[in-house]
Amino acid sequence: MSSSTVITNIAALVTNDPSLGDNSPLGLVRDAAVVIDGDRVAWTGGSSKAPATDNRVDAGGRAVLPGFVDSHSHLLFAGDRTEEFNARMSGRPYSAGGIRTTVAATRAASDEELEAGLTRYLAEALRQGTTTFETKSGYGLTTADESRALRIAARHTDEVTFLGAHVVAPELADDPAAYVALVTGEMLDACAPHARWVDVFCERGAFDGDQARAILTAGKARGLHPRIHANQLSHGPGVQLAVELDAASADHCTHLTDADVDALANSRTVATLLPGAEFSTRAQWPDARRLIDAGATVALSTDCNPGSSFTSSVPFCIALAVRDMGMTPDEAVWSATAGGAAALRRDDVGRITPGARADLTLLDAPSHVHLAYRPGVPLVDAVWRRGVRVV
């Protein structure tokens, strides 16, 4: 039998349901309370109207928001790329080739080593308020290594993505067509049972538009839904391909034409922005303001990976988005919660509404705005996931 808990004396509650609060996208409720019953949110409203429950938690005049939904990460890897980062910060530009360094380390690692790394980064993210995460394969690039990465990931999340098409495997570097045939054939057959999504890095130095279409279409035929690394390093066909295939998300979206922005704004495809990558590579920032003003749905995610964005902190990405990408604090928090949920085609997370999964983050601050206002400060005081306090 499940027990019920009320969290009262919340200074500012972010529900992401305009009808529950101040009619803003955040659905902000002041002097609020939330009731958790089992693993679900049962009630939200004014603190003075909270119903009786089995347990009571006093928020102490602090803010509560949905657990962050990190819809883009690469957590199945071994080793790190400290030397590459150090060199890049000394003036060498980032290119996709560094992925092969991680491929070698990942292939050499045991299952136990890969899972230990995954759980370490997940615990790190959870302490910073992330309660839902997607993660990808992509550092094995053989049938055996890609499938084992997905099997390990599937023990820890439902949001598992097959990214055999991260770069061409080094042993087939001179025959990319053969690698595409492997990815769309034997590798996909082995990986599809362990994944929900199929992804491809559509970029110069990785896969072109025709190759990306073939890979995503093959994935769809095996029951996987597309998402895509698009338009990160240059203008390219990725965003248009994402919209054409009804991809859940086009990720990075740094270099966009007006036609790309219009396509995203008139589709279900979410533009997932990954400011950790621009921070870590000193690249051009995505223009979130342009996307939001056009009517596109925007998500914020960490892109946690050892090469170009080695951060698991959504609060850090929120601060970057506000400072350097033209987002307001409200927009950045929405994009890191409800936006991430949209990028995963989920309606049970990323909001605090009756029936939603009880994933909540309590900040040691009176407002969600402090996530951008106090960058780098560990503001997450408590986290509930599926109704259980885990931090």
pLDDT of residue 98 exceeding 90, the answer is no
User: What's residue 94's pLDDT?
Assistant: 57
Task: Find the range with the poorest average confidence among 48-57, 91-100, 167-176.
Answer: 91-100
pLDDT digits (tens, 9 = 90+) for 262-282: 999 999 999 999 999 999 989
Residue 55 above 90 pLDDT? Answer: yes
Average pLDDT over residues 140-151: 98
Band the pLDDT of 375: cuts 50, 70, 90. very high
List, in order, residues 6 or more apart from 3 with CB less than 8 Å away.
Answer: 38, 53, 54, 55
Answer whether residue 137 shows pLDDT above 80.
yes
Calculate mean pLDDT across residues 301-306: 97
CB atoms within 10 A of CB 291: 25
Q: Percent of the chain scored above 70 by pLDDT?
A: 98
Summarised one tens digit per residue, pLDDT across range 169-189 is 999 999 999 999 999 999 999
- The encoded tokens of residue 123 equal 């615990």
Instruction: Give the model confidence (pLDDT) of 27-39 as tens digits.
Output: 999 999 999 999 9
Is residue 101 very low, low, confident or very high in pLDDT (cuts 50, 70, 90)?
A: confident
Whole-prediction pTM: 0.96
Mean of pLDDT values over 48-52: 93
Q: Cα separation of 340 and 334, whole Å?
A: 8
pLDDT digits (tens, 9 = 90+) for 224-243: 999 999 999 999 999 999 99
Across the chain, mean pLDDT equals 96
| pLDDT tens string 240-250 | 999 999 999 99
Q: What values do phi and psi take at 324, rounded to 5?
A: -125, -5
